[in-house]
């Protein structure tokens, strides 16, 4: 059997952030049933098998549901035919269908749109649609041109991580801005970023303008905002081929590093982060420190593929996702990343 599965643009085993909803984790959407395939963009030769995950965030379970997969280019089979969808109690409480697709006669190897429909009581033959998802390769054609390369200088002493962005080290940082929304237009709530490093640590500084900064300020101060409504930032790192990391930092200063493959696995790392809000300036600030050894270290003269994606989760009906490079929904896809170039380490003063 000739099976070959290749992800677009050397995606390898890294899934894009799902397009169904741009705000952070798609599984955090309340009152919905979420469909998320392992892959959103595929090039298929002959046939392939993959999982489609389903999570029920409604206030009740679904007794019987089945998944349908439709494409002009593929014949598809799905197992099982039907299953129960219990009400999810956490973000990891999900089930999956196994989908096998085979290229139809007359179609050549390539990437084609696949529509997924979740229906209730499929055994009746007239099941009601519960949810749908479209894996659309056309999203790749909407990726804006890559931004200019950011040069990250080495300093002898990194900044203090306190959310103030006032240390001398930041004056040596490489800067970037021009965040764009999913439709490619500039974000109204714009972000300016800074990157600098010392011998052992990469530092990220962000100034995030926000017309609703009072919501963020309340969350930073320990308000009652839920985790689903908490604004956050992803620093996406591709330091070497097929190696991807995602540093997640929310506006409360909580930070977690993940190594990303078909699933995101937490990495033990002494990440530090701090945030601060300035209501008068309608801006909040973020500083984070990532030990370089946690992502494999830094080689002399290295260039990494990098992106910063911002999620305004408190404003799901307005400007939600924006990113420095590419599209917010496409995550760690290499074509969706910008470039960061590192200079040589700062030398210590010569001994006399």
Question: Prior bond to 80 cis, omega within 30?
Answer: yes
Which parts of the chain have pLDDT scores under 50? 1-30, 352
CATH of the domain at 308: 2.60.40.1190
148 in the same domain as 129: no
**Residue 41: how many CA atoms within 13 Å on its side-chain side?**
25
Does residue 296 belong to any structural domain of this protein?
A: yes
Kindly state the tokens that stand for 86. 């219990």
- pLDDT at position 142, please? 61
175 in the same domain as 63: no
131 in the same domain as 18: yes
- pLDDT at position 294, please? 96
Range of the domain at 65: 3-141
Domain termination residue (choose one: 85, 118, 141): 141
Which residues are within 8 A (CB) of 17 and not within 5 positions of it... i.e. 6 or more apart? Answer: 26, 309, 328, 329, 330, 331
* C-alpha to C-alpha distances, 313 to 124, 189, 222, 223, 310, nearest whole angstrom: 39, 13, 16, 15, 9
- pLDDT at position 317, please? 55
81 in the same domain as 112: yes
Q: How far apart are CA 57 and CA 67, in angstroms?
A: 17
150 in the same domain as 287: yes
99 in the same domain as 89: yes
Residues forming beta bridges with residue 339, ordered by sequence position: 305
pTM more than 0.75? no
Kindly state the tokens that stand for 143. 């990726």
323 in the same domain as 175: yes
Does residue 350 belong to any structural domain of this protein?
A: no
311-336 core/surface letters (b: 16 or more CB in 10 A; e: else): bbbbbbeebbbbbbbbbbbbbbbbbb
209 in the same domain as 313: yes
CATH of the domain at 131: 2.60.40.10
282 in the same domain as 149: yes
- pLDDT at position 46, please? 73
148 in the same domain as 106: no
């Amino acid at each position: 059997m000739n099976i070959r599965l290749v992800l677009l643009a050397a995606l390898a085993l890294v899934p894009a952030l799902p397009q169904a909803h741009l705000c952070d984790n798609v599984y955090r959407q309340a009152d919905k049933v979420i469909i998320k395939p392992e892959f959103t963009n595929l090039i298929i030769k002959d046939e392939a098998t993959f999982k489609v995950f389903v999570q029920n965030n409604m206030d009740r379970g679904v007794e019987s549901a089945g998944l349908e997969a439709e494409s002009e280019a593929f014949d598809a089979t799905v197992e099982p035919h039907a299953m129960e969808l219990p009400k999810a109690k956490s973000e990891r409480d999900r089930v999956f269908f196994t989908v096998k697709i085979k290229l139809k006669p007359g179609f050549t190897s390539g990437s084609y749109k696949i529509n997924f429909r979740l229906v209730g009581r499929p055994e009746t033959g007239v099941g009601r649609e519960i949810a749908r998802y479209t894996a659309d390769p056309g999203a790749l054609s909407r990726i804006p041109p890559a931004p200019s390369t950011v040069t990250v200088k080495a300093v002898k002493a990194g900044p203090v991580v306190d959310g103030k962005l006032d240390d001398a080290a930041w004056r040596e940082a490489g800067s970037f801005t021009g965040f764009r929304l999913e439709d490619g237009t500039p974000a109204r709530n714009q972000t300016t970023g800074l990157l600098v490093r010392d011998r052992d640590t990469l530092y990220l500084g962000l100034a995030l303008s926000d017309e609703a900064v009072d919501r963020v300020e309340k969350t930073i101060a320990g308000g009652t905002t839920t985790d689903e409504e908490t604004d956050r930032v992803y620093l996406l790192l591709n330091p070497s081929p097929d190696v991807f990391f995602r540093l997640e930092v929310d506006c409360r200063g909580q930070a977690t590093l993940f190594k990303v493959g078909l699933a995101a696995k937490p990495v033990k790392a002494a990440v530090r982060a701090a945030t601060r809000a300035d209501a008068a300036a309608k801006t909040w600030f973020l500083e984070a420190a990532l030990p370089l050894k946690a992502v494999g270290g830094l080689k002399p003269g290295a260039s990494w593929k990098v992106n910063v994606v911002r999620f305004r989760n408190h404003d799901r009906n307005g400007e939600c996702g924006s990113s420095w490079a590419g599209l917010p929904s496409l995550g760690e896809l290499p074509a969706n990343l910008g470039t960061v170039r590192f200079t040589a380490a700062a030398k210590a003063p010569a001994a006399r």
